[in-house]
Structure 1
Amino acid sequence: MKIIVSLLSALLLLIIIALGSGAYNIAATEKHWGITEKIIEWVRESSIEAHAKNLQVPALDGKELIAGGAEHYNAMCTICHLAPGMEPTELSIGLYPQAPIFHQREPITDSAKKLEHARAYFWVIKNGLKMTAMPAWGQSHDDDAIWGVVAFVLKMGKMTPEQYENFVSATKGHGHGHGEGSHGHEHEH
């Protein structure tokens, strides 16, 4: 038993020395090792599932909710997640891991999957994700605004540039408010 503990201690010390020496390249231009990526993905997905599983999803089909979500998405999300017809931005190109491009995904038609995605999207949008550049929008936006973004993102699967522009142009002139707890700032469109 002492030999196993000694070997594990020596291995841990070697790992600490290797990581502390800069041997592991943390640059965003250098991809993770395959095993590291799998572990990070497993931890991320498990955490989101555990924290989002009991969220109560409101009705997400209201026109005002979706319009508000389109406005917020257009103002806050396109720089990383892009929009239909939009070329990649300097920021989106440099992200690692890459941000999901929602309009390129297949539409979610299964109601149970849609509910599962709605919970996960809400939790991520509200709380952000460490080491991904995904901000915690819950710090500056109320739950209704976040559910609006969720409703819009769920509609984005295979959305055309014309459909996107119709959603966004329908919100012009309404202002980008944040509801209660607003910091009173506007985002540029």
Structure 2
Amino acid sequence: MQSKTRQRVWLIAVPLIVAVGAVGFVWGGVYNVAADDMHTRPVHFLLETARERSILTRAGRVEVPSGLDEPARIVQGAGNYAAMCAGCHLAPSMAETEMSQGLNPAPPDLSKYEVDAAKAFWVIKHGIKASGMPAWGKNMDDEYIWNMAAFLQLLPTLDAAAYKELVDSSQGHAHGGGETQGDGHVDAAAEDHPAPSEPANNAMPHTPPPGVDDDHHGSIPGDAEVGMVESNPAPDTPEAGDGHTRTH
């Protein structure tokens, strides 16, 4: 009887202790999430496995269209790759960038890394949580994403000259609308025609009162202008016969 009671206590106590410990671990900020601090091997293995299995499961449902080897697709995909991806995933003979060095997990160098077309499409469209990989599908139609996936099939076979030739022959960053400038571009017209400066101290322009000429609003008008009337002089004070002035 006592052994069964002890078993029940342990069955309740152990999960409770684990739960309290997990809450304390998370709430106490014990785990360092800084990108410049590498994951421990068990955590790295867990995250890598979860990511790869998740992508594989979902990419397996993607139907790959025909014609991914069409030159027009590849050229169009090259322009968007150079504008949107090369900063992290690099290009042939391209040195690591500030972005690629600062991300954790480190983005793969796709100029040296072969990717399956369906996986490439799924990752480009949906992104990957907490990795720095955005979901480009929010701003790109599937057709443009497939063009990038088509280009990625060819990218590992290119040298720097061939890569540059493809990018130069493309339309650059173009995917049917929603493109944004990521290089701090400033409109030249705005530089040539800066906005007018505000009045000092944000003062409102002076408006003369009604009936006063604006040309003279700073002067003080004379008596005649304001219709002032000279006051009557005080009457003479009569003198008494003894030569003293009478006061009342």
TM-score by length of 2: 0.66
What are the within-5 Å matches in structure 2 for residues 12-91 of structure 1? 12-58=19-65, 59-91=67-99
Correspondence 1:177 to 2:184: no
Which letter maps to 2:135?
Answer: A
CA drift at 1:157? 1.4
Partner deviation per Cα, 1:40-78 (whole Å, 9 max, x = no partner): 111111111111112111121011100011000001001
Could you say what the CA RMSD is over the residues aligned between the two structures, in angstroms? 1.7
Give the 3 Å change call, closer, same or farther, for CA 121–7 of structure 1 in structure 2: same
Q: Which amino acid aligns with 2:18?
A: L
How far the C-alpha of 1:185 sits from its partner, in A, is 4.0
- Give the secondary structure class of the aligned counterpart of 2:121: helix
SS of the residue aligned with 1:102? coil
Secondary structure of 1:99's counterpart equals coil
2:7 is aligned with 1:8 = no
| Alpha-carbon offset, residue 19 of structure 1 | 2.3
Structure 1 residues 187 and 24 mapped into 2: Cα distance closer, same or farther (>3 Å)?
closer
User: Using the alignment, how far apart are the partners of 1:38 and 1:139 within structure 2?
Assistant: 30
For residues 155-181 of structure 1, give each alpha carbon's deviation from its aligned partner in whole angstroms, at most 9, with x where no partner exists: 11142111211111111xx353323xx
Moved over 6 A (4+): none
List runs of 5+ in structure 1 lacking aligned partners: 108-113
Q: Deviations over 1:110-157 (max 9, x none)?
A: xxxx7xx11111000000000110000001111111011111111111
Give the aligned residue type for 1:62.
Answer: E
For residue 118 of structure 1, what is the amino acid of its counterpart? Answer: A
User: When the two structures are superposed, what TM-score results if normalisation uses the length of structure 1?
Assistant: 0.86
Structure possessing the higher radius of gyration over alpha carbons: 2
Determine if contact 1:82/1:101 at 8 Å carries over to the other structure. Answer: yes
Higher-helix-fraction structure: 1
Q: Which amino acid aligns with 1:157?
A: P
Q: Name the residue aligned to 1:149.
A: 148
- Write the distance in 1 (CA, Å) between the matches of 2:173 and 2:12: 58
- Where do 5+ consecutive residues of structure 2 fail to align? 1-6, 184-248
- SS of 1:157's equivalent in the other structure is helix
Contact 1:176 1:186 in 2 (8 A): no
